[in-house]
Structures are given as C-alpha cells and as structure tokens.
Chain A
C-alpha cells in the first residue's frame, strides 16, 4: 500500500521528478568518472606526474565527496518541497508519522538507488568519451586506463547508498518534528527580516578586507611561502561568506533606493534577489569557491599544456631532423602541414669525430634556428644561421644543427667545407632532412609515427629522442604536463557540473513557494514578458555573482603560479578558460530559467 502511494505521488509530479532524476544521474556519473581515475592505481602511478597526481586525486576525491553531499542534500530538499503537501495530507487523514517516515525513507532510497545505477552506466559512457577525446586533443597516451573499473563502481555505489540513507533519515526526522498543519501550509511561510544597516556595513567591510588580505597573501607567495596558502584559504572562505551576506545585499539596497527601481517589476526583482542572496549565502559562497577551484584547475592544466609547444619551439626551429629518410618517411612528411623544409648533404668521419657539410648549401639555403628572447616568459624567435655562426661551437645555431643530427653523431664536431673538399672526402654521403611544422599539436600524430620509424632505423629506443628537434622536447614535456592537464580539465568540468547543479536545485526547490507571488503579480496585471524578464534577472544574479567572485579569486590566485614561475602566459590561458567555462555554466543557467519559469509563470487560460 505504502509503495502504491509512493508511486502515485511520483507519477503525479513526473516532470519535476525528471529534473531531479537527471540531476542525480549526472552527479553519480561525474563521481564515477572521477573515481574511475582516482581508484585506478595502475593508471595514476604509471603516469609521469606520479606522486603529484596521487595527491591531487585524493584531494579532489574528498572535495567531490563534499560537493556530492551538498548536492544530494539540496536535491533532496527539492524532492521534499514537492512532497510536503502530500505528506501533510496523509497525516491529516490519520497516517502515523512512523508510517510517513518509512514512506519518506523508501522514496528517497528508491530514487537514490535507481539514479545511482543509471548514473554509473552513464558515467562509464562519459568516461570513455571524455578520456578518448582528451587523449586525442592533448595527445597523452592513456595506458592502463579503462572506462569500466570495478573498484570505482563499488566506491560510487557505497558512497551514494550511504548518502541517500543519511538524506532519507534526515528528511524523516524533519517530518517527525513538523506538524501536519505546518506541512500543509509550508508553501506560505516566509521569514524575511530586513538586515540592520550597521551590521550590513560592518560585515561588508570585514568581508572585503578579508578577501583583500587573502589576495595579497597569494600575491606575496615568494615571501610567505606555504603560509600564503593557509592564509588564503581561511580569509577567502570567510571573506566570500561576508561579501555575499552583506556587500552584495548592500549594493542591491543602493540600487533599490534609486529612482529607476520603481519602474516595472524592478523593485520586486531586486528585493527577491536580495532575499535570495541572504537566504542562500552558504550555497552561494560554496559555489563561488568551487567555481574558483574548478576554473583554477582548468587554467593551470591548460596553462601547462600551452607551455609545452612554447618551450619546444624555443628549443629548435625544426620539429624533426631525419637522416637518410626512407620513402615511407618522406610520404609521411608529405602529409604534414609543413611551413618549410630543407635538405643538406653530410659526410661523417667517425675517426675524426667530425660531420662535414657543404658550406655552399648552408649559404644558399640557410638553416633556421630558434632562441629564447625571454626565457621566463617563454618568448622565442627564429633566426637564420649564418656560416660564421655555424662555425662557432658556442653559438645557438651550431647547437641546433648538432641536435638535429642522428643520435650517434651528436657528440661530433661540425665542419663546413667547400664543394671540392666535400667531394674528396671518402665517406658515405648522408642526407639530413629538416622539417619545420606550422602547428606541433596538429602534427603530433604523424610526427610520432616518423620518430617510431626513425628509432627502428637507428636501432634505438624511443626514449633516446631520435628526432632531435622540437618534437622530442614536446614529447618529453607532454608526458609530464599532459597528466596535469588531463586532471585539471577533468576535475574542472566535474566540479563545474556539480556546483551548477547544486545551485540549480537550490533555486528550483524554492520555486513552489514563489508560485504564489508570480500568480499575484499576474493578477495585478504584470505581462508575461515582464514576469519572464524578472525571472531572467533574478536567476542571472544568483548565477553571476558567485561566478564573478570566483573569477576574481582565480585572477588573484594565479599570482601564486606566476610569482613562483611555475606557469607562463597564465592570464591568457585564464581568459580563454574563463570564457569556455562560463559558456558551460551558462547552459545550466538556461536550464534553471526554463524549469523555474515553467513552475512559476502562470499560464493564461485560453480554451476555446
């Protein structure tokens, strides 16, 4: 009987449940995705980042579990806000509160188990998709990695089961304590108290001061060392809370007291937003901090990746140097988007440890070489090597040429000789093909094939850098930074999806009680477009404020990386990742507005 009532209850609000359900599934899927990496010891320890990676994943796992808890809590609140009235009614009809408690726990668990199981399946799909996409995009081979990983499945199931049991018990407890009448009228309650001016100003100043202190600590990392992170964590968390609780509210009050607030629903919109911000202070602070963490993770991850081609390009103007390329190699070079290539003839005298080149060739078709103009900013230029530079063993041009030769001759001297002398040398004539590519990332796959063929030709293992040019540096760094980047993007997207869903459900769970307000506004003559406009602005405020604060946090937080010379071009990367990140975030905003409007905007009844 209980089960029947439960099912009937769910059926009657099917649309709302679909939102709740899909949110839960996404959350489970994301958690699984993360666990699929973090519980896979083989994968994490085999990646070059090694111990660092393990640390990042433990840290990430804990954070994600906390967000998941918050998320399940809010989603559950949404569930309860939909069912309160029904439960109140059952109690009015004489159902014992023990029976209702059972009903609540049962419902919560059924929804929880179903969404967890579906979520894991979706998660396996996501993991497969995202990992192959990322490994393709950032050219990191993911060895020992599989989308389906049993320990990850268990961790996900156990964690979510425990969370839902806790959530169910908490809900049941709330109901045992609330009277039937209160439940029936739960929609009509509201407890707005206008905050005192003095407290507001005090808190606003305190909040801004704390934030400023935290930002300064991160800026001054060279002096404060590890202390900067400690100070930053405490001051920024507290500062964010106070800024939401007071500063933003104060700003809105100022806007509200201006004359323009009297037009249309402006006053209502601002007042609602003010009320919401104060009511949601905790979740907004969490969202803002997580937004910062996620954006920071992505920025740093991508930043490392962006550095790879920059370092590689500063090391050599040519991607690879191919000694006596085979036909197969030549055809692979033909597939590349080559910006320039050049061939030189060389003869090697192993006894004299010397490699001879025709001076005439190097004069007619000069070699290019790369050099850093600013090593700390990774700025480099490409120069044309003159003969005198190539005769000088301490010049960068000379060095470049040496490194582009086959590994066996890299310890030899270089000599430029006249055509006659060159022809008279009794040694095998080699050709050295130097290839310069336009885009290292795009050429990566073909270049990998080329280097493989080359090592086979030289009879050496890959690790000895057969290509010698920029690509070998590129490959080496990719191994190290690639896993950082993979984790950064992965964590960033996972955090974003979770936090945006949290915010979404928090807003949606208040929709039921806002319905009355919008109905009244409709009755006193607010056009539908005016109502929609007000909703767009209200929810925009709730999404925008934490995002803005989060972006500011990252902007200052990056100073830690810049000042300690860990990351180059951080702010450029930051700009782009902030844009991309905000676009993803915007999708959540759109969904929230759509669902919320559907719940609160009264439909004009036209039945003819």
Chain B
C-alpha cells in the first residue's frame, strides 16, 4: 500500500491582501504525491509554481488551505518548528547550487546534519554514504571553486540527500548546467528516486520534466492539467509533454 508523502488541500495564496492591489497567486490547489513518486510541476513564469514550492517547503505560508508532509500539517508551525522541519524532513536542490565557497564539499554536504547537532561520527558516515551514492567520494576535500558545474550540482544533491529527507524539492536544478551535466544530474535523481526517495521537481524545461513519472501543469494559480508517464518510454513522454505544453499555454 502506498502512502501520501505530500498532500495539499485547497491552497490559496493572496499577496498584499490588505493593500490596494491584492494579487491571488494560488487559487485553490489540491494534489498529492505518493511515497517514492517523482513528480514534476510545470508552468510558465508567474503561473504560481514558485509560490507553491515555497509553501510546500515551509518557506511561506498559505492564505488558506493546508499542506501535509509525511502526515504532518506544516501550515501551523512556528518559525523554529518550520526550520527544524526543513532540516529533518526536506532536501533542497537549487538552480545555482548554493554551495558555500568557504567550505569543502564534505563540509557543505554535512551542513543539514550539523544543524540537527548530530554526532561527528554519524555525520561522517552519512556524508560518506551520500557521496558514494552520487559518485563524488574523491571530491570531498575540494572547495567548490575547484569543482565543475556538474560536480557542484552533485555535491548539492548529496547535501539534499544526506539527512534522509521524506522528500527532495528541486527548483530548476538543471538551470545552470550544460546538457551533458544536466543529463547526468537527472539520471542521478532518477537513481535516487528508484531507491525510494520521493522527489518533487519544479521546472519549465520539458527535457528535465520528461524524467518525472507524473507532471502537474499550473496556469494562473490553478492545476490545469496532469499527465502520467504510465510506463511510456522517456522519449515518448517527452513528446507528450511538448504537445501538452503547446496546447496548454494557449
């Protein structure tokens, strides 16, 4: 039996609610992600996908509606609870890597565990395991400036993975990579996913999206459409996404 790892219900987000020009970014979004799924969220700029990601990632709060992650309602947490929740349950991969240049790869990967005040031994083991999984074990003592774009993104992926999160959020993770490195990272994410980690990817790149198993299309703050890979080949799925985008954006 599968369990839901993310479940949003009637999410609304209004910016500048009491101001002269309130703007409704999300207009009632309801969906769920099953344990072990690889879901993509696509949409044009301004469609509300970043707002949605921020709310799910406890970086922002909805005006109304609820978000449950791993069975816990995250919309009513205090600021500290939200921080702790992020460090324990969520992993992030950002577009521009966001590695700290003054720390080595090992130290960068260790950050989420340090924040949970894990013991040095535990940290070392977890970092080594994540690095091996991503094939960067030899790079651990290097500083980010000594790494290539693809290597940096794998370090970032290891950092997202190291605390065994319930779900990994990717915000355009291939945005700053060339096609070879992008492909590599997406393959890696697929690997991670196959080992049972749930992934939610926000992107507007059809190629990245074609690695997902299911895609939600957002337009004007609503889920406009949804397609499923359903065992199709990645190429076929890619074509389907392109077609869908062609009709969806009109």
B101 partner residues in chain A, CB cutoff 8 A: 190, 192, 275
B117 adjacent to A263 (CB under 8 Å): yes
Q: A192-B143, A529-B80 are in contact. Are A524 and B115 (CB under 8 A)?
A: yes
Query: Which chain A residues numbered 52 to 71 have a C-beta less than 8 Å away from chain B?
Result: none
The CA-CA distance from A190 to B100 in the complex, in Å, is: 10
A188 partner residues in chain B, CB cutoff 8 A: 96
A262 adjacent to B114 (CB under 8 Å): yes
Q: A604-B79, A607-B17 are in contact. Are A524 and B103 (CB under 8 A)?
A: no
Flag the segment in A228-236, A309-317, A328-336, A515-523 that touches B: A515-523
Given contacts A267-B107, A525-B112, A525-B115, 10 further A-B contacts (CB under 8 A): A264-B115, A268-B100, A271-B102, A516-B96, A517-B98, A523-B86, A523-B92, A525-B116, A604-B59, A607-B17
The CA-CA distance from A608 to B92 in the complex, in Å, is: 26
| Contact with A526, one of B87, B96, B143 (Cβ below 8 angstroms) | B87
Q: Mark B80-106, 1 if CB is under 8 A from A, else 0.
A: 101111111010101010101111000
| Contact with A191, one of B103, B112, B145 (Cβ below 8 angstroms) | B145
The CA-CA distance from A608 to B100 in the complex, in Å, is: 33
B149: shortest Cβ distance to chain A, in Å? 13
A265 adjacent to B145 (CB under 8 Å): no
B145 adjacent to A193 (CB under 8 Å): yes
A527 at the binding interface (Cβ < 8 Å): yes
A435: shortest Cβ distance to chain B, in Å? 67
A526 partner residues in chain B, CB cutoff 8 A: 83, 87, 115
B145 partner residues in chain A, CB cutoff 8 A: 190-193
B185: shortest Cβ distance to chain A, in Å? 18
The CA-CA distance from A263 to B98 in the complex, in Å, is: 20
7 inter-chain pairs at a CB distance below 8 angstroms, sorted by A residue, are A259-B120, A264-B114, A523-B86, A523-B94, A524-B111, A524-B112, A530-B83
B103 partner residues in chain A, CB cutoff 8 A: 267-268, 271
The CA-CA distance from A309 to B123 in the complex, in Å, is: 64
| Contact with A523, one of B59, B96, B102, B110 (Cβ below 8 angstroms) | B59
- Which one of B15, B102, B107, B110 has the highest number of Cβ atoms from chain A below 10 Å of its Cβ? B102
The CA-CA distance from A241 to B111 in the complex, in Å, is: 32
A607 adjacent to B15 (CB under 8 Å): yes
B182 at the binding interface (Cβ < 8 Å): no
A528 at the binding interface (Cβ < 8 Å): yes
A274 at the binding interface (Cβ < 8 Å): yes
A524 partner residues in chain B, CB cutoff 8 A: 86-87, 92, 111-112, 115, 159
A262 adjacent to B79 (CB under 8 Å): no
B155: shortest Cβ distance to chain A, in Å? 13
B73 at the binding interface (Cβ < 8 Å): no
Q: Mark A513-557, 1 if CB is under 8 A from B, else 0.
A: 000110111111111111000000000000000000000000000
Chain A residue at smallest Cβ distance from B112: A524
The CA-CA distance from A271 to B102 in the complex, in Å, is: 6
Chain B residue at smallest Cβ distance from A523: B92
The CA-CA distance from A16 to B112 in the complex, in Å, is: 32
B61 at the binding interface (Cβ < 8 Å): yes
B107 partner residues in chain A, CB cutoff 8 A: 267, 271
B59 partner residues in chain A, CB cutoff 8 A: 522-523, 604-605
A608 adjacent to B60 (CB under 8 Å): no
Q: Mark B102-144, 1 if CB is under 8 A from A, else 0.
A: 1100010011101111001001000000000000000000010
The CA-CA distance from A274 to B61 in the complex, in Å, is: 36
B57 at the binding interface (Cβ < 8 Å): yes
The CA-CA distance from A373 to B98 in the complex, in Å, is: 70
B151: shortest Cβ distance to chain A, in Å? 16
Chain A residue at smallest Cβ distance from B143: A194
A343 at the binding interface (Cβ < 8 Å): no
The CA-CA distance from A265 to B114 in the complex, in Å, is: 7
The CA-CA distance from A608 to B120 in the complex, in Å, is: 40
| Contact with A606, one of B61, B84, B115, B123 (Cβ below 8 angstroms) | B61
A265 partner residues in chain B, CB cutoff 8 A: 114-115
A462: shortest Cβ distance to chain B, in Å? 66
| Contact with A525, one of B84, B94, B96, B143 (Cβ below 8 angstroms) | B84
- Which one of A191, A519, A525, A529 has the highest number of Cβ atoms from chain B below 10 Å of its Cβ? A525
B72 partner residues in chain A, CB cutoff 8 A: none
B90 partner residues in chain A, CB cutoff 8 A: 525
| Contact with B114, one of A267, A606, A608 (Cβ below 8 angstroms) | A267
A281 at the binding interface (Cβ < 8 Å): no
B21: shortest Cβ distance to chain A, in Å? 15
Q: A192-B145, A607-B15 are in contact. Are A521 and B111 (CB under 8 A)?
A: yes
A533: shortest Cβ distance to chain B, in Å? 12
B61 partner residues in chain A, CB cutoff 8 A: 605-608
Q: Mark B191-209, 1 if CB is under 8 A from A, else 0.
A: 0000000000000000000
B79 partner residues in chain A, CB cutoff 8 A: 527-528, 604, 606
A266 at the binding interface (Cβ < 8 Å): yes
A248: shortest Cβ distance to chain B, in Å? 15
B63 at the binding interface (Cβ < 8 Å): yes
